[in-house]
Structure 1
Amino acid sequence: MDNGTRFRYIFRSAEKEAMKKFSTALSSLNVTPNQSEVLLVLYENEPVSLKELGELLICEQKSPSRLVQGLVEKGLIYKGTSQSDARYSVLYLTKEGKEIVPKIIEKENEFDKELAQFLGKNIGLEQMMSILKEYLKGTNSEKKLKMRSIWE
């Protein structure tokens, strides 16, 4: 097996394991990592249409309607009409959704700190991000990261 293939499987496995750990960290809040991203994007940008949400999400390549439906069922977001054009529906956080976001941010910060410490001991966080950003140049992922001010 060549090194490119080995790297691909190792990288994918590391991402999978990181998401498992993050999922465990969020389990007490009864949200998944993907659902937490939806809530955070809404918190930073509400109201947004389903299409606009999809353009901002990293976790979902297609329509986020399934994710949104799950959060509507949990009472964390709701669909309303746009104030600028009543023909369009937009998404808002509910009171419960707004209350859970700071808890998500706390869990996310704890997880990110642990990940950064691990990378810092082994390769250097800045070096790793630089390598990955170079790989992502010119992709839709780069565009999404820039739209959310994550790329910097």
Structure 2
Amino acid sequence: MTSVPKLTDHTGYWMRMVSNAVSQEFARKVSGEDVTVAEWSFMRSLYDSEPTPPSVLAKKMAMTKGAISKLAERLMAKGLVEKTESQEDRRAHNLSLTTEGRAKIPVLASLADQNDADFFGVLTKEEHETLDRIMRVLAEKRDLKATPVD
């Protein structure tokens, strides 16, 4: 009979456990601001940008144009994102944050900071820096570029 490793013998098990806990708590926090984690990621991607075509945003976030369109529609309905006609091509349009959407970014960023502090505050500074470094190395070596939205 071959030996079968336990779930807890896998690094991925522990990463998923931690990731789920961090993500679920952050989702709870941002829901108080009437946005989802995906909407926050979308809005944050627009924050430092000029009005952006959906196709450019899709590439930047490594998402499909369909997913970007759905997020844009939800955020436009909430008054946080607006669609404007492109100056270069009247058939195209750009997405940008509304004044209300732009004002919400620092609030949501503060919630993200608080979530990190709440969860990772149990680590020493050195442990936290090591964890960050390892996660970045893994993402780079595995060529992971998609913005995590779930």
TM-score past 0.5 threshold = yes
* 1:85 aligned partner: 89
TM-score by length of 1: 0.77
Aligned partner of residue 141 in structure 1, secondary structure? coil
Q: Name the CA distance, whole Å, in 1 between partners of 2:42 and 2:25.
A: 19
Aligned partner of residue 47 in structure 1, secondary structure? coil
Identity of aligned residues (%): 23
Cα 1:140/1:74, change in 2 over 3 Å: farther
1:38 aligns with 2:42: yes
* 2:22 aligned partner: 18
Paired amino acid for 2:64: K
Structure 1 segments, 4+ long, off by >4 Å, are 2-5
- Report the CA distance between 1:30 and its aligned residue: 0.5
Paired amino acid for 2:16: R
- Report the CA distance between 1:96 and its aligned residue: 1.8
Q: How does 1:48-87 map to 2 (within 5 A)?
A: 48-57=52-61, 61-63=63-65, 64-87=68-91
Who wins on radius of gyration, i.e. which is larger?
Answer: 2
- Cα deviation digits, residues 42-89 of structure 1 (max 9, x gap): 1111311112212222xx643322222211121111111122333321
* 2:144 aligned partner: 141
Aligned residues: 141
Conserved in 2, the CA contact under 8 Å of 1:26 and 1:33? yes
Extract unaligned runs of 5+ from structure 2. Answer: none
Extract unaligned runs of 5+ from structure 1. Answer: 146-152
1:95 aligns with 2:99: yes
TM-score by length of 2: 0.78
What is the aligned-residue RMSD (CA, Å)? 2.5
